[in-house]
Each structure stands twice: as structure tokens, then as C-alpha cells.
Amino acid sequence: MQQETMAIHSGYEPEATTRAVAVPIYQTVAYAFDSAEHGEALFNLEAEGYRYSRIGNPTNAVLERRVAALEGGMEALSASSGQAALNYAVLAIAQAGRNLVSVPQLYGTTHTLFAHVLPSLGIAVRFAESDEPAAIARLVDADTCAVFCESVGNPAGNICDVEALAAVAHDHGVPLIVDNTVATPILLRPIDYGADIVVHSLTKFMGGHGTTLGGIVVDSGRFPWKKHADRFPMLTRPDASYHGLVYTDHFGPAAYIGRCRSVCQRTMGSVLSPLSAFLLLQGIETVALRVERHVDNARRVAEFLRNDPRAAWVNYAGFPDNPYHALARKYLAGRACSLVTFGVRGGYHGGKRFYNALRLVKRLVNLGDAKSLACHPASTTHRQMSPEEQCKAGVTPETIRLSIGIEHIDDIIGDLDQALDAAMAPGRGRLAAVRAGAAAGMR
Ligand SMILES: *Cc1c(COP(=O)(O)O)cnc(C)c1O
């Protein structure tokens, strides 16, 4: 009791709780060593514990263990955002002169990273013509460091044949990296199908409330780096940036995530705040329940839109005539994700009138929030792409992407219904837009 009082009033903790091996009771940047020898052992990665929060801290460690467990992985490393996690995932095993082979259907910013930023560092990214395993196989060569896909593409809604892509990657001696943000481990665990590395934007369904940015890299611990030692010298030969450490010797099967932490996180520093980790952990406690409701609501919305003449088309993998239906059955047990894209009749302008008339569904470029969201990819998330690139990414000018939330289904459909009405009646659409703006201001 007395010790707690001391902690509150003095601003530092009773001695035991600041020790490197203990869980602190509140936020701290660095951790005290027992002795010089203890500090030395921690920096040599010989003792388990914490040194400095950029490299690891106990709150983030709980998040990392929990997501690794959900994904069936060995270890994980959290990062400040999904993009930071993607950067780490690639840079841990890529270097100038090497290449990455990717499916074309990607999150807009990931596409920008791959098409422009990595190439400027000398890492080429080869975009396959499609997400077909054969299209990927054609592009892999001796300089390839990994194959990349999104298990369920955002916003294209394509479902990758993870097992076949893993087989292609492994035949060529490279790992498969899967962005599992849209599916979540509740619907699909890519490691069960042979994926080696899983990346998440925790910002989306995992956190689930649209309040907190975060990302994570999960290592399955299964890729045989040593067997392909020449391809991955950064893991299998002494690393000058870490006093000659050989990751495969030191970390064994966790070599990859060890390098992500010791090199990428330590030197690039896109660290997740522990307060954000705490908020994301709260979200993860309900992700299974939320995803169930997201999926049920999305089915109802897709059915509503399919039967409505005001919608030109609906892309929803839960329908038997969808090209990805078989993969949805195999990988998602038929539970298609709650991203539904559709075209409003009336093309670009019809789409805009619909978008402006929404009242419950929020006009945001996020997804995976408990609240229903809508976005117009061509003018926002995919704006940096050429029309041809947009088309390959599954985005057309009239596409509206809905991220169906967990509200009561009648409320969601009621809002879509009135917005479709507005889209069909240009005059009223403008009025509805003004009203929607006023209502949004009051929220
Ligand atoms: C949002 C998203 C990202 C980026 O995540 P941030 O947390 O916003 O950095 C990456 N991949 C996919 C599929 C996403 O939806």
C-alpha cells in the first residue's frame, strides 16, 4: 500500500516494478538493469527482458503474443501502423538489387509503397497480371525475396488461393507474405495454408472501433531460411549492424522476426505506443463476436443490393455466381467478408449523389469499424493510380466500397435505401446531401 502511494506521488515506481523483467504499472521508456552484467546480457540478446521501449515493451508484448496465437504463428512484432508493419515485413529480407513479386489487387498505399517507394531504394516490385498462382510463378527468379498477397484484397474483394501461392513460393525457395487485414484470423488463418509471414493493419477489424492505428508482423517460424542461405544472407550470415550476429543461429526458427525487431524496429523506429496496444487489445477481445455480426449484416446488404434495380452491380464473394465463391468456401467457410463493393446506377454522378446522401453510413476511407462506412476509392484511396492501375486493382469510377458495421441491419438498409432514392433523383440528392452534412455536424 505504502509503495503504491509512493509511486503515485513520486512519479517513479517502487523498485521491483521497474526491473527489466517485471511488468511496470504504468508507462516508461527504459528499464533498469540489475547490474552492468545484466545490461550487457540484455544487449547481447542473451537474457530475456526489456531495455528500451523502441525495441520492446511488456504491453506491446501481450498484444504480440495474442495476435501470434490467433494467427497460429510463433512470434510477432507490433508496429505503429499497418504500413509500418508492411515496411518491416519486406525490408527485413529485401535489399537493393532484389525483387518482390506481388498480386496486383492491393490496398492503395501498399501499391504506392511497392510501385514507387521500394523501387527508389533499388528493390523492384513485379506485379503479376492477376492473383493466379501461375501468373505469380512466371515472375519469380533467383533475386526474388518473397511473394506478396492480400488474403482478401482491399477494395477488390478478390480472395487469394493462399495454399497454391504458398506452394509456388516454396517451390522457388521464397516465403509467402500475406496481408490478412480484411479477413482477420477469425475468418482465415493463412499460416494454416502454408503462409510464412502474416501482416495486419490492426487499425481495422482487429481494433474494431476506428480509434487507434496499429500494425503487426507475425512470423510462422516455419520458413527454412538456412536451406536458402544464399538468398537470405541478411539472416544467415553475420550482420554488421548487430555486432556480427547471425539471426538463424541466434534466434533459430524465429530468425525473421528477430531481425524485424533488432534491425527494422530498432533503427526505423515505427513503434506502437503501449497505450495504443492496450486499446487494440481491448478491441481484440471482441473481434470474434464483431466479425460474426459484420459478416451476417454484409450478406443481408449484398442481398438487398442484388435485388435492387437502383444498383448496377454488386461484388460479394458470398454469391454462388461470384468468381471467388469457390475460394470463399474453401478459405472463409463461405463467410464472405463485410467489404461489399457495388456500382450505383447512373455511373459516376449517380455514385456521388448516393455517397452524399448517406446519413448513418459514414463517408470515411477506413474499414473494419463497428460503424458502417462508405468510400469512393477512385477519388480517395486509389487516387494516386493511373486509370489502368485502378482497373487492375479492381476499382472503377463508379465503385462504392461499403464496410458493413454491426448496427441493426434495418438501420443500415434503411440508410442505403434512402441514399439510393436520392441517387435516382438528382434534385433531391443535393438536398439530402445538405441534410446529411448538417446531421454529420451534429454527431
Ligand atoms: C488499412 C490497410 C493497410 C494499412 O494500414 P494502416 O494501419 O492504415 O497503416 C494495409 N493493408 C490493408 C489491406 C489495409 O486495409
How far are the Cα atoms of 121, 182, 203, 246, 419 from residue 369, in angstroms, in the given order?
34, 11, 9, 41, 21
- The residue whose CB lies within 8 Å of the most ligand 1 atoms, and thus the one to mutate among 203, 212, 279, is 203
Tell me if 53-283 shares its fold with 287-442: no
Gap between the Cα atoms of 170 and 146, Å rounded: 10
The Cα angle at residue 162 between residues 364 and 319, in degrees rounded to 5: 60
The stretch 360-366 carries a mean pLDDT of 93
Q: What are phi and psi of 294, to 5 degrees?
A: -55, -50
Neighbours of 321 (CB within 10 A): 6
CA of 262 to the centre of ligand 1 (A): 23
The ligand 1 site (C-beta within 6 Å) comprises: 81-83, 107, 109-110, 150, 154, 179, 181-182, 201, 203-204, 213, 215, 367
**What secondary structure letter does DSSP report for 271?**
P
Per the listing, cell 482478401 goes with 152
From the CA of 213, give the closest atom in ligand 1: 7
Which residues partner with 7 through β-bridges? Answer: none
Q: What are phi and psi of 289, to 5 degrees?
A: -65, -45
Q: What are phi and psi of 403, to 5 degrees?
A: -110, 105
**Does residue 427 or residue 363 have the better pLDDT?**
363
Q: Are strands 215-219 and 176-179 parallel, antiparallel or unpaired?
A: unpaired
Of 288, 266, 284, whose CA–CA distance to 276 is shortest? 284
Pick the CATH number of 287-442 from 3.60.40.10, 3.40.50.2300, 3.90.1150.10, 3.30.110.30: 3.90.1150.10
Tell me the domain boundaries of the chain.
53-283, 287-442
Gap between the Cα atoms of 236 and 98, Å rounded: 16
Gap between the Cα atoms of 86 and 240, Å rounded: 24
Q: Are strands 362-363 and 373-375 parallel, antiparallel or unpaired?
A: parallel
**What is the topology classification, in CATH, of domain 53-283?**
Aspartate Aminotransferase; domain 2 (3.40.640)
Q: 175: cis peptide before it, omega within 30°?
A: no
pLDDT value for 151: 98
**What secondary structure letter does DSSP report for 79?**
E
Of 257, 242, 285, whose CA–CA distance to 76 is shortest? 257
pLDDT value for 17: 46
Query: Which residues make Cβ contacts (< 8 Å) with residue 164, sequence separation at least 6?
Result: 133
Cell of 317: 464473394
pLDDT digits (tens, 9 = 90+) for 175-228: 999 999 999 999 999 999 999 999 999 999 999 999 999 999 999 999 999 999
pLDDT digits (tens, 9 = 90+) for 132-148: 999 999 999 999 999 99
User: With contact defined as beta carbons under 8 Å apart, do 234 and 265 qualify?
Assistant: no
pLDDT value for 309: 95
What confidence tier does 13 reach under pLDDT thresholds 50, 70, 90?
A: very low
CA of 160 to the centre of ligand 1 (A): 17
- The residue whose CB lies within 8 Å of the most ligand 1 atoms, and thus the one to mutate among 67, 149, 160, 181, is 181
User: In percent, how much of the chain has pLDDT > 70?
Assistant: 90
- Residue 308, classed as helix, strand or coil, is coil
How far are the Cα atoms of 93, 226, 245, 259, 295 from residue 233, in angstroms, in the given order?
9, 9, 12, 12, 43
HSE at residue 339, side-chain half, CA atoms within 13 A, is 25
> What order do you get walking across the sheet with 99-102 strand by strand?
75-79, 215-219, 197-201, 176-179, 144-150, 99-102, 124-127
Angle between helices 426-442 and 347-357 (to 10 degrees): 40
CA of 365 to the centre of ligand 1 (A): 11
pLDDT value for 397: 77
CA of 319 to the centre of ligand 1 (A): 26
CA of 157 to the centre of ligand 1 (A): 14
Q: Whose CA is nearest to atom 8 of ligand 1?
A: 82
Query: Which residues make Cβ contacts (< 8 Å) with residue 357, sequence separation at least 6?
Result: 418, 419, 421, 422, 423, 429, 432, 433, 436
The chain-wide mean pLDDT, for the chain, equals 90
- The yes-or-no verdict on residue 380 having pLDDT over 50 is yes
CA of 202 to the centre of ligand 1 (A): 8
Q: Whose CA is nearest to atom 5 of ligand 1?
A: 82
61 alpha carbon, distance to own chain's centre: 18
